[in-house]
Amino acid sequence: MSFGAKYKKITQIIKDDLTRLEEELKSEINLYPQLNEVLSGFLTSESKRIRAVTAFLYLRASGYEPDERQYNLQTAVEIIHSASLLHDDVIDECDIRRGKTALNKVFNNKIAILTGDYLLATALDRLNKLSTPEITALCAETVREMCRGEFFQYFNLGKIPTIEQYLKKTEQKTAGLFRVAIDGAMKLSGSLNTQDAADFALAFGTAFQIRDDLLNITESSRLKPSKNDLLCGIYNAPVIFSGSTSNLAEGIEKTKNLLNNYVIKMLCLTDKLKDSQYKTALRELLELLNDV
């Protein structure tokens, strides 16, 4: 079975949550007549919704039922993620996103940046509806960290970072938003100790990015130059472990081990959850991370 087919099967048990999320996202597409159709194609198309999927599975596996505020939180997270991609495609001069021409190419950089800003404001509105300053503050710091991760990447182009620097950048750019989705969901549910959720979220976001970086290397010959990290001077775990940009076989193996260590850590964290179909699905999702 392909990755996509396995993923679809796992997410089947939260399909109603995901349908609701899509409806919420659709309801936010009202920014400007000339832009709505393209934004709709971008915001509500080909996306795994991985942040929301892990959050809904974790929340339900912890015995909580999502309510209106949970949908607001996951909508805000997906919108922030989308806004960051609009800006990222301007930074990376990328021309394809989610299988379609990127907004910066359908229009131009100005429109892509403004649309990202508009989405960010929309997400703030959703966060405001939660009336939970702790989550708003976590989210604000996470967006600042995403920018710091981008700054680090920009000012270190062409240099091989240490593994510690790479993991820090990965936590800043990617894992932080998973923490908002998962730890935020648990905080909203009233759960008092959310340390396990935060640890799980950071590990999941990091593992997800490591997997993405592995795919970027193994599929590098099929990627356009602008999507190819090696050609762009962005050096990830396989290059760091190899110590050079050639002969990556050993680096790839070590990166797979690193990824597996995160999966093992998360499996241990989920051991503490009561048995349920959601816990089983969460663990299947973890196993799928190793499918690379």
* Minimum distance from residue 203 beta carbon to ligand FPP (Å): 17
At residue 234, what are phi and psi to the nearest 5 degrees? -105, 115
Among 50, 73, 76, 83, binds ligand FPP (CB under 6 A): 83
What residue type is assigned to position 148 of the chain? R
Q: Show the binding pattern over residues 84-103: x = contacts ligand FPP (CB under 6 A), - = does not.
A: x--xx---x-x---------
Question: Does 150 participate in binding ligand FPP (rule CB under 6 A)?
Answer: yes
Q: For the chain, first and last CA: distance in Å?
A: 13
173 binding partner (options ligand FPP, Mg ion, none; Cβ < 5 to 8 Å by kind): ligand FPP
What separation in angstroms does the CA of 180 have from each of 147, 193, 267? Answer: 16, 15, 20
Question: Does 256 participate in binding ligand FPP (rule CB under 6 A)?
Answer: no
147 binding partner (options Mg ion, ligand FPP, none; Cβ < 5 to 8 Å by kind): ligand FPP
- Establish how many alpha carbons lie within 13 A of residue 33's alpha carbon, considering only the half-sphere containing its beta carbon: 0
* DSSP classification of residue 171: I
In terms of CB distance, is 92 or 284 closer to Mg ion? 92
Asked whether the beta carbons of 127 and 135 are under 8 A apart, the reply is yes
User: Among candidates 112, 100, 107, which has minimal Cα distance to 41?
Assistant: 100
**Residues, the chain, total?**
292
Which residues in the 171-190 window bind ligand FPP by CB under 6 A? 173-174
116 binding partner (options Mg ion, ligand FPP, none; Cβ < 5 to 8 Å by kind): ligand FPP
Which residues in the 88-117 window bind Mg ion by CB under 5 A? 88, 92
* Minimum distance from residue 60 beta carbon to ligand FPP (Å): 26
Cα three-residue angle 159-160-161, rounded to 5 degrees: 105
Task: State the burial class of residue 228 (Cβ atoms within 10 Å of its Cβ: 0-12, 13-18, 19+).
Answer: middle
Cα 191 from Cα 174, distance rounded (Å): 24
# residues near ligand FPP by CB under 6 A:
16
Question: Does 124 participate in binding ligand FPP (rule CB under 6 A)?
Answer: no
Cα 172 from Cα 47, distance rounded (Å): 21
Cα 173 from Cα 142, distance rounded (Å): 9
User: Among candidates 113, 148, 141, which has minimal Cα distance to 127?
Assistant: 141
In terms of CB distance, is 181 or 269 closer to ligand FPP? 181
Residue with smallest beta-carbon separation from Mg ion = 92
Among 98, 227, 254, 256, binds ligand FPP (CB under 6 A): 227
In terms of CB distance, is 124 or 232 closer to Mg ion? 232
Q: Show the binding pattern over residues 29-68: x = contacts Mg ion (CB under 5 A), - = does not.
A: ----------------------------------------
What is the distance of C-alpha 223 from the center of its chain? 20
Residues making contact with Mg ion (CB under 5 A): 88, 92
Residues making contact with ligand FPP (CB under 6 A): 80, 83-84, 87-88, 92, 94, 116, 120, 143, 146-147, 150, 173-174, 227
